Chain A
Amino acid sequence: MKAPYTPRVPRKFIGAYRPRIDARDKASGKTLYADDITLGSRFPGLLYAKVLRSPHAHAQVKRLDTTDAARMPGVKAILTYQDPEVAALPVTSAGWTDGVDTVSYERMMWHRFRDRRVLPDTACWAGDEVGAVLAAETELQAEEALRAIKVEWKVLPFVLDPVQAMKPGAPAVHPDIAPDNVMPEDEVGGPNVFVDKGDVGRGLAEADVVVEGRSIHHNATQNSLDNWCCVVEWNDDRLTLWSNSYEADQSRMHISQMLSLPIHKVRVVSSFVGGQFGRGDTGDQPFFLWTALLAKRTGRPVKFRHTRRESFHDSRQPAIYDGTVGAKKDGTITSMSFKSIGNAGAYADHTMFALKFAPKEVTEVALAHIPNVRFESYGVYTNKLPACMMRGVGNSQLNLVLGQMVDMLAEKLGMDPIDVVIKNFGHEWGTRPDESLTRVLHEGADRLGWAGKRHAPGKGPTYDGTKRRGVGFSFHPGWHAEWQEVRRGEVHVGITINPDATVTLDAPTVETGTGSNTCNVLGCAEALGFLGVTAADIHWVSIVDTDTSSKDCVQTDSSVAYLQSEVMAVAALEVKQKILDRVAPILQVRAADLQIEDGRVFPRAAPKRGMAVKDALMRSDKVPFTVKVCRTPPGDRTGVPYIATFAEVEVDTATGQTQVLRMVVVNDCGTVMYASGAEAQQVGGQVTAVGEALTEEIIYDEATGFPLNFNWIDYQIPTMADMPEVEPALLEVWRGGGEYGACGIGEGTVTCGPRAILNAIYNAIGVRIDDIPIKPEKVLEALGKG
Chain B
Amino acid sequence: MARAASSRKGAAGKPARKRPPKVTKPVAKKPVRSATRVVPAAHEVPGGPAAPSAISMRVNGQTHTFEVGRDLTPSMTLSWVLREKLGLTGVKVACDEGACGACTILLDGKAVLSCMMLAVEAAGRDILTIEGLARTDPVVEAFACQCEPGYGTALQCGICTPGFVMAARALLDENPRPTMDEVKEGLSGNLCRCGCYSAIAQAVQHASERKVAKGGGR
* Cβ contact within 8 Å between A39 and B83: yes
Does B159 lie within 8 Å of A515, measured CB to CB? no
Q: Which of A224-232, A571-579, A612-620 participates in binding chain B?
A: A224-232
A717–B160 alpha-carbon span in the complex (Å) = 14
B46 touches A19 (CB 8 A): no
Cβ proximity bits B145-170 to A, threshold 8 Å, 1 near / 0 not: 11111111111111111100100000
Which of B63-71, B97-105, B106-114, B210-218 binds A? B97-105
Which one, B35, B44, B195, contacts A683 given CB within 8 A?
B195
In chain A between 385 and 432, which residues have their CB closer than 8 angstroms to a CB of chain B? none
Is A720 within 8 A of B190, CB to CB? yes
Most chain A CB within a 10 A radius of its CB, from B141, B144, B188, B194:
B194
User: Is the beta-carbon distance between A36 and B89 smaller than 8 angstroms?
Assistant: yes
Q: Complex formed: what's the CA distance from A680 to B146 in Å?
A: 11
Query: Which B residues lie within 8 Å of A633 (CB)?
Result: none
In the complex, A50→B5 CA distance in Å?
Answer: 12
Contacts of A53 on B, CB cut-off 8 Å?
A: 1-3, 5
The residues of A that contact B147 with a CB separation of less than 8 Å are: 17-20, 676
Give Cα distance in the complex from A144 to B8, angstroms. Answer: 10
A518 to chain B: closest residue by CB: B153
Contact B6 A147 (CB under 8 A): yes
In the bound complex, how far is the Cα of B152 from the Cα of A275, in angstroms? 16
CB distance from B177 to the nearest CB of A (A): 18
Measured between alpha carbons, how far is A759 from B207 in the docked complex, in Å? 38
The verdict on A584 contacting chain B, using a C-beta distance below 8 Å, is no
Q: CB distance A712 to B100 under 8 Å? A: yes
Say which residue of A274, A686, A710 sits within 8 Å of B195 (CB atoms): A686
Q: Does A33 contact B (CB under 8 A)?
A: yes
Q: How large is the interface on B (under 10, 10 to 19, 20 to 34, 35 or more residues)?
A: 35 or more
Residues of A48-62 at the interface with B, using a CB-CB cut-off of 8 Å, are 48, 50-55
Query: Is B90 in contact with chain A by the CB < 8 A criterion?
Result: yes
Chain A residues, CB < 8 A from B151: 2, 679, 683
Tell which of A20, A36, A226 touches B94, judged by Cβ atoms closer than 8 Å.
A226
Question: Which one of A2, A29, A140 lies within 8 Å of B148 (CB-CB)?
Answer: A2
| B187 & A30 in contact (Cβ 8 Å cutoff) | no
Is A146's CB within 8 Å of the partner chain B? Answer: yes
A residues less than 8 Å from B58 (CB atoms): none
Q: Which of B1-41 contact A (CB under 8 A)?
A: 1-6, 8, 11, 30-36, 39-41
A52-B2, A721-B184 in contact; A2/B87 too (CB < 8 A)?
Answer: no
A308 within 8 A of B: yes
Q: Which residue of A lies closest to B43 (CB)?
A: A140
- In this complex, what residue of B is CB-closest to A31? B158
B198 contacts chain A at the CB level, 8 A cutoff: yes
Instruction: Digitize B126-140: 1 where CB-to-A-CB distance is under 8 Å, 0 elsewhere.
Output: 000111010101001
| Min C-beta distance of B2 to chain A, whole Å | 5
Contact B196 A29, beta carbon cutoff 8 Å: no
Q: Are B162 and A307 in contact (CB under 8 A)?
A: no
List chain A residues, Cβ under 8 A from B143. Answer: 23, 26-27
Contact status A143-B42, CB under 8 Å:
yes
Residues of B within 8 A of A23 (CB): 143-146, 153-155
A260 within 8 A of B: no
A2 with B149: CB separation less than 8 A: yes
B54 part of interface (Cβ distance < 8 Å): no
B55 within 8 A of partner (CB): no
CA distance A41 to B89 in the complex (A): 12
A32 to B159 CA separation, bound complex (whole angstroms)? 9
Contact B150 A2 (CB under 8 A): yes
B157 pairs with A713, CB closer than 8 A: no
Complex Cα–Cα for A715 and B6 (A) = 21
Max chain B C-beta neighbours (<10 A), residue from A35, A685, A706, A720: A720
For the complex, is A272 an interface residue (Cβ under 8 Å from B)? yes
- Which stretch (A191-199, A490-498, A585-593, A723-731) binds chain B? A723-731
| CB nearest to B130 among chain A residues | A29
Given A713-B34, A728-B152, CB of A39 within 8 Å of CB of B89: yes
Which of the residues A19, A54, A143, A687 comes within 8 Å of B197, measured between beta carbons?
Answer: A687
A522 within 8 A of B: no
The majority secondary structure among interface residues of chain B is loop
Q: Is A166 an interface residue (CB 8 A)?
A: no
A513 with B94, Cβ < 8 A, contacts A307-B40, A680-B152 known: no
Contacting pair B193 A138 (CB below 8 A): no
Contacts A23-B155, A26-B155 given; does A275 touch B194 at CB 8 Å = yes
Taking CB atoms and an 8 Å cut-off, the chain B residues in 69-127 that contact chain A are 83-84, 87, 89-97, 99-100, 102
Specify which of B148, B150, B153 is in contact with A677 (CB 8 Å cutoff): B153
B87 lies within 8 A of A41 (CB): yes
Determine how close the nearest CB of chain B comes to the CB of A2; give it in whole angstroms. Answer: 3
- Asked if A29 and B165 make an inter-chain contact with CB atoms under 8 angstroms apart, the answer reads yes
Is B174 an interface residue, CB under 8 A from the partner? no
**Which A residue sits closest to B80, measured CB to CB?**
A139
Contacts of B148 in A (CB 8 A): 1-2, 17, 676
Query: Do residues A728 and B87 form an inter-chain contact, with CB atoms below 8 A?
Result: no
CB neighbours (8 Å) of B195 from chain A are 683-688, 723
Residue picked from A52, A708, A716, A721, most chain B C-beta under 10 Å: A721
Task: Report how far A190 CA is from B144 CA in the complex, Å.
Answer: 47
Q: Are A684 and B194 in contact (CB under 8 A)?
A: yes
In the bound complex, residues from chain B placing their C-beta under 8 Å from that of A716 are: 33
Query: In the complex, which residues of chain B have a beta carbon less than 8 angstroms from the beta carbon of A683?
Result: 151-152, 195-199
Contact B35 A713 (CB under 8 A): yes
Q: Which residues of B contact A703 (CB under 8 A)?
A: none
Q: Is the CB of A713 within 8 A of B33?
A: yes
* Nearest Cβ on chain B to A72's Cβ, whole angstroms: 10
List the B side residues contacting A74 at CB < 8 Å.
47
Within 8 A of B (CB), among A8-46: 17-20, 22-33, 35-36, 39-41
Considering the chains assembled together, what is the distance between the CA atoms of A54 and B40 in angstroms?
A: 18
Complexed CA–CA distance, A686 and B194 (Å): 9
Q: Is the CB of B46 within 8 A of A73?
A: yes
Q: Give the distance in Å from the alpha carbon of A51 to the alpha carbon of B3 in the complex.
A: 11
A71: min CB distance to chain B, Å:
13
Q: Is the CB of A33 within 8 A of B44?
A: no
Residues of A within 8 A of B159 (CB): 33, 225-226, 274-275
Contacting B198 at CB < 8 Å: which of A29, A273, A723?
A723
Tell me whether B144 and A720 are in contact (CB under 8 A). Answer: no
- Give the CA-CA distance A216 to B166 in the complex, in Å: 40
- Residue B201 CB within 8 A of the other chain: yes
Which residues of B pack against A, CB within 8 Å?
1-6, 8, 11, 30-36, 39-47, 83-84, 87, 89-97, 99-100, 102, 129-131, 133, 135, 137, 140-141, 143-162, 165, 183-185, 187-201
Contacts A310-B1, A679-B152 aside, 19 further interface pairs with beta carbons under 8 A come to A1-B148, A17-B148, A26-B144, A27-B144, A27-B165, A29-B90, A53-B1, A140-B45, A146-B2, A308-B40, A309-B5, A309-B39, A675-B149, A680-B199, A709-B35, A713-B36, A713-B99, A721-B188, A726-B198
A-B pairs, top 6 by smallest CB distance, nearest first, are A29-B90, A513-B157, A274-B159, A680-B152, A2-B150, A139-B42
Residues in chain A within 8 A of chain B (CB atoms): 1-5, 17-20, 22-33, 35-36, 39-41, 48, 50-55, 73-74, 126-127, 137-144, 146-147, 222-227, 272-277, 307-310, 512-515, 675-677, 679-688, 706, 708-714, 716-717, 719-723, 725-728
5 CB < 8 A contacts A-B: A28-B90, A54-B3, A277-B193, A712-B191, A722-B188
